[in-house]
Structure 1
């Protein structure tokens, strides 16, 4: 198969769309091109100063971006294809990338520009379906953790908190202590399948978007292919027209229309139940139970950071993992996990993190409200070396929340008994 060459386009043909911690996205706006029209370009980023310290041979053939092979071989076995974007490899060019940086770096948020940059050493990137352009609006929702953990692997010090307040809400409280902007959004409301709770969660997302001037990443709105901000009158007017608010840009009215429209879209879609099921069945031990199993096994010791002595899985191992997950996982007794299954549980937690950190893009099938498509994006492979960091963060979050003056109760309406996992999984499998 002949790979697409980025040099068949000009850097000025691409406009900045958005970015996350690892990748940055540009949308093609040049002359019609069979390979590039209706596509976005996803490029890897690196922290400033790391280009000289990290070795990457630009003169030899580099492997394809793992995002493409991971989706093709792993994610597609767990998520129906109609909910996934197309991903293909594109060959990059260092000079072309440098020109793109000169042209578009000023479009990035200032805090991102200060932190990282496009990795100009990469000679392969990813072309993906453009879910933002070619439509009057597009909505990106990052749902986060859609469940409460089971009690059996939690310590006496954490069990009451972790089974009462969801991880996102505890983390929000912790971030606010660090000076970040707060939000009243609770993922368990979004995942609840209860219309009033779903609308409440979407209203909280809208309020967070508005009050943070669009800086919170759990909700992003795109108008005419560009990220919209609450202080952009033109974008807000177009949003008002789309949601049938006429010429009124009253914030409260827009919030209600947005919430009611999106609630129906999400209630009609199997995406959120699917994500919740994958998250909770893959993270079946919680980070606490996983850490305990790691120290009990021959692979870990009390001084090891969680997962520090474990190499990252190969793609073949991931394929084998999915086979076990779909066949044996639901019959195991996870209340007493076997040390012999340690690597499996570590991989399961990594995959659960992928589904906890993904986003959903919702966009209309036509120019009018009523019919929408929903697509899951940003499903990167997570690395074993992040497990120790996640474990330490988990402890910090819970320790902070213990002393928090304001604690909330989060209701996991889809919580099922361990014996019910197989039934739930089989029910969702009909969508594949």
Structure 2
């Protein structure tokens, strides 16, 4: 496994410094994006004075369920309780940073992981941000909002760009076909995404995108994958121009789209992140959920795993053990489960590609500089193992119900 893994610099272990203590104004931030656990706000304020460090930054806040109407979010907790919550948050963010840098970064490449910095936030600021963002948020996200009780937020570089920069966000998904003999044979033919899309959408609305084309390293297949993503993005492909999300088709929105597409395909083929990502997904998930779930139950019975989520020490140790082991070596039940969970994180990351100065001065031989960042790198919840199995079974059953004959099934190719 060492051929795809860099050695770990022990001096690079990340620890959060003391949070920035700076006066934040809600008017300086605009709603940017959100996932299930976090909501992001983009800095649009002044670049002068003490706020210069906020230029080009995104503020990430944790979300929680919207309180029941009439209920107060202020529980009247004491100062000591507030300090305890802050210490808990500091530890949480330290663990997340360590996981991103010293686990995912160690596996995938430290250069792809964005730096992070803590900043103090007030309940008043968060309430204002929630109110300002309400009309811009997707309807299916409104049951949650930024938690006003969090005393800390996270600042990360804004990869959506500004000025003449153009950014692409891609969710590459699963990059391999399982080889384990313990899985349903259909998984050897049809990739997870190409089965899953029929559970989420009817056949006539299903995307033509196959992640294995994107990972293939073949220019024609990668271009085919990009075309499919553009035709039916389904939250897997987003374009930002001057830092703003493009709502229309990028074919019309991006200047000289055909030239840009060839540049994007070249980056995806030539940069090493996609083949490394696919290799990691595959080698960390040797058994598939069908094979690893019995090991999960065995680890619970033996006490190797408990009902609690793994500690950051567990993740760092699992990463080190994975790197030091030979391919296909026998590992403990706990190690097999944690490796599978690392693969789950890697299957759900997003890739941000920021291209400087588009359109370029010359369209004949455009070679703009670019940078790539891997985001959404938080550890997945071990408590969802049963859900992963049940979802997998539902995906396969639905696909086989729709396409019972092998001849009808999509033949995906790595």
Is TM (by shorter chain) over 0.5?
Answer: yes
Q: 2:367 aligns with which of 365, 370, 377?
A: 370
For 1:40 and 1:385, the matched residues in 2 are separated by 30
For structure 2, the 5+ residue unaligned runs are: 1-16, 361-365
For 1:315 and 1:126, the matched residues in 2 are separated by 19
How many residues align? The count is: 371
Note the aligned Cα RMSD (angstroms).
2.7
Q: How many angstroms does 1:282 deviate by?
A: 0.9
Which piece of structure 1 moves more, 56-65 or 7-16? 56-65
For 1:342 and 1:397, the matched residues in 2 are separated by 25
Counterpart for residue 44 of structure 2: 29
Counterpart for residue 14 of structure 2: none
Q: How many angstroms does 1:260 deviate by?
A: 2.4
For 2:294 and 2:195, the matched residues in 1 are separated by 22
For 1:352 and 1:289, the matched residues in 2 are separated by 14
> Against the structure 1 CA distance between its residues 366 and 93, is the aligned structure 2 distance closer, same or farther, given a 3 Å change threshold?
same
1:249-328 equivalences in 2 (<5 Å): 254=257, 256-295=258-297, 297=298, 299-300=300-301, 309-328=306-325
Q: How many angstroms does 1:183 deviate by?
A: 0.8
Structure 1 residue 97 and structure 2 residue 122: aligned? no
Counterpart for residue 225 of structure 1: 243
> Against the structure 1 CA distance between its residues 274 and 118, is the aligned structure 2 distance closer, same or farther, given a 3 Å change threshold?
same
Counterpart for residue 6 of structure 2: none
TM-score (norm 1): 0.79
Which piece of structure 1 moves more, 139-148 or 22-31? 22-31
Counterpart for residue 137 of structure 1: 166
Q: 2:214 aligns with which of 186, 190, 212?
A: 190
- 8 Å contact kept, 2:29–2:45: yes
> Against the structure 1 CA distance between its residues 180 and 97, is the aligned structure 2 distance closer, same or farther, given a 3 Å change threshold?
farther
For 1:27 and 1:308, the matched residues in 2 are separated by 39
Structure 1 residue 356 and structure 2 residue 347: aligned? yes
Counterpart for residue 13 of structure 2: none
> Against the structure 1 CA distance between its residues 164 and 259, is the aligned structure 2 distance closer, same or farther, given a 3 Å change threshold?
farther
Q: 1:121 aligns with which of 149, 152, 168?
A: 149
> Against the structure 1 CA distance between its residues 403 and 237, is the aligned structure 2 distance closer, same or farther, given a 3 Å change threshold?
closer
For 2:299 and 2:279, the matched residues in 1 are separated by 31
TM-score (norm 2): 0.83
Counterpart for residue 226 of structure 2: 202
Q: Secondary structure at the match of 1:299?
A: helix
For 2:328 and 2:199, the matched residues in 1 are separated by 37
- 8 Å contact kept, 1:148–1:166: yes
Q: How many angstroms does 1:403 deviate by?
A: 1.4
> Against the structure 1 CA distance between its residues 238 and 370, is the aligned structure 2 distance closer, same or farther, given a 3 Å change threshold?
farther
Q: How many angstroms does 1:349 deviate by?
A: 1.3
